[in-house]
Amino acid sequence: MLHNLGDRFWIKNAHIPFCLLENISIEPQTREQLCHVDLEINQNKIINIIPHTSKLPEYPYIDVKKGIIFPCFLDSHTHLDKGHIWERSPNLSGTFKEALNTVKKDAQNNWKSDDIHRRMEFGLQCSYAQGTIAIRTHLDAFGEQAKMSFDIFKQLKDKWQNKLTLQAVSLVSLDYFLSQEGEKLADLVAEYGQILGGVAYMNPEIDQQLDRVFILAKERDLDLDFHADETKDSDSICLKKIAQTAIKHQFENKIACGHCCSLAQQSEQLVQETIKLVKEANINVISLPLCNLYLQDRTPKQTPKWRGVTDVHALKKQGIPVIFASDNCRDPFYGFGNHDGLEILKESVRICHLDTPYDNWVTAVNKIPAQLMKLPNLGIIGIGVNADLVIFKARYFSELFARPQSDRQVMRQGKLIDTTLPDYSQLDELIFPYQR
């Protein structure tokens, strides 16, 4: 176990991925592009990064024995308002349709202010303890639910501001924005200074819906964040239409598109056409491998034939920013999950074949989402940056991804934090009210 050593100290003998070192000219020492370095910390910030030396410094130091160090994680696509309802509202078929219906019923029966607040905060506690520093959550936002959920979000954002940076995205189907209520929602999102978003699905009015969303966002100077093509249907081309609409409106703010599963089922010609437009429109693609592996190609008592994820390799090859995020957690859309940035990366590596070589895929859970979320000083390790670090005993990627790394240590502003996860029993009175 490491210990806090005061304001000025060294972290010695560390392995850091070259792609995460910002403006540091140190050569990698391993085939996995890991740099063997020492870091000097003073007054909460990294003030020096040098090639590892056996020379002992004049200040106290920690020897991490070639352990890998990451900057803290950024989780850019979550659903904290749905989280941790599995036990009271399970999805027993595991299908997308039942997930939608089960969540809708749970919201009607249980989504009061205290219920949402406590479950969202439980998710934040899990994220913080495991090394996450910023989270973007989608919030169901039809009707009166919008004001309630954004109010709760604001309370948690203020309460956790010294630990986590929180962002919120409205979540409705895009047809909602053709109504007066949809315009009111856009005003509400602008009032809270957050991101306008919704679910894009193929329908006769999709072009009209997208036009309206982009107009509302431009009028209010808002970023956009879509759920798109969360389906195996190769005829679902919402990602392509979003890109075309962004180009048409000369949209300059940030755009994210999550899921984009159907891209992996389409012809090579359509994929290349879509990617060309996505690049021109400056869209970030967020892949959610855990949830998509769980829901896509799901037929009860049949073996799935594909992994559900978008074509991340083709996207990255053409310079599209690709991000991995956690999505749902212990709710009808995904019965598992633990708000853990390392789990997201590890399972993405396995599901999407991101090894041999690892290249700079590790940036998809820190540096790249930081750029999307307009948090440029997060997700990197560099001189002058806060010492917000996740320290693992694992020395190489094969070791890092082989075990859960439950013994990781998390440093925030140069101080080690308590990494104890909250106990599930904290939610018992919400999940099992009949036992009271």
Cα–Cα distances in angstroms (integers) from residue 394 to residues 70, 94, 133, 211, in the given order: 12, 35, 21, 49
Measured distance CA(156)–CA(121) in Å, rounded = 7
Residue ranges of domains in the chain, CATH in brackets? 8-71+379-416 (2.30.40.10), 73-372 (3.20.20.140)
Give the tens place of pLDDT for each residue, 96-112.
Answer: 999 999 999 999 999 99
Q: Which amino acid appears at position 11 of this protein? A: I
Spatial strand order of the sheet with 283-287 comes to: 196-200, 224-228, 255-259, 283-287, 322-324
Give the tens place of pLDDT for each residue, 392-436.
Answer: 999 999 999 999 999 999 999 999 999 999 999 999 999 987 554
Give the tens place of pLDDT for each residue, 32-50.
Answer: 999 999 999 999 999 999 9
In the residue annotation, 191 being an active-site residue is answered as no
- Residue 2: predicted pLDDT: 77
Give the tens place of pLDDT for each residue, 163-214.
Answer: 999 999 999 999 999 999 999 999 999 999 999 999 999 999 999 999 999 9
- Residue 436: predicted pLDDT: 45
Measured distance CA(369)–CA(379) in Å, rounded = 8
- Burial of 289-309, coded b for 16+ CB within 10 Å and e otherwise, reads bbbbbbbbbbeeeeeeeebbb
Q: How confident is the model at residue 4 (pLDDT cuts 50, 70, 90)?
A: confident
User: How remote is the C-alpha of 192 from its chain's centroid?
Assistant: 21
pLDDT at 1 over 90: no
E-only strand ranges, 127-251: 132-140, 165-171, 196-200, 224-228
- Residue 434: predicted pLDDT: 59
Measured distance CA(107)–CA(85) in Å, rounded = 10
* Helix, coil or strand: residue 9: strand
Q: Spot the catalytic one: 22, 40, 121, 230.
A: 230
CB hemisphere CA count around 188 (13 angstroms): 26
- Residue 173: predicted pLDDT: 98
Query: Averaged over 367-376, what is the pLDDT?
Result: 98
- Residue 432: predicted pLDDT: 81
Give the tens place of pLDDT for each residue, 113-148.
Answer: 999 999 999 999 999 999 999 999 999 999 999 999
Query: Averaged over 160-165, what is the pLDDT?
Result: 98
For all residues of the chain together, what is the average pLDDT?
A: 96
For residue 107, the 8-state DSSP code is H
Give the tens place of pLDDT for each residue, 244-273.
Answer: 999 999 999 999 999 999 999 999 999 999
Quote the pTM value.
0.97
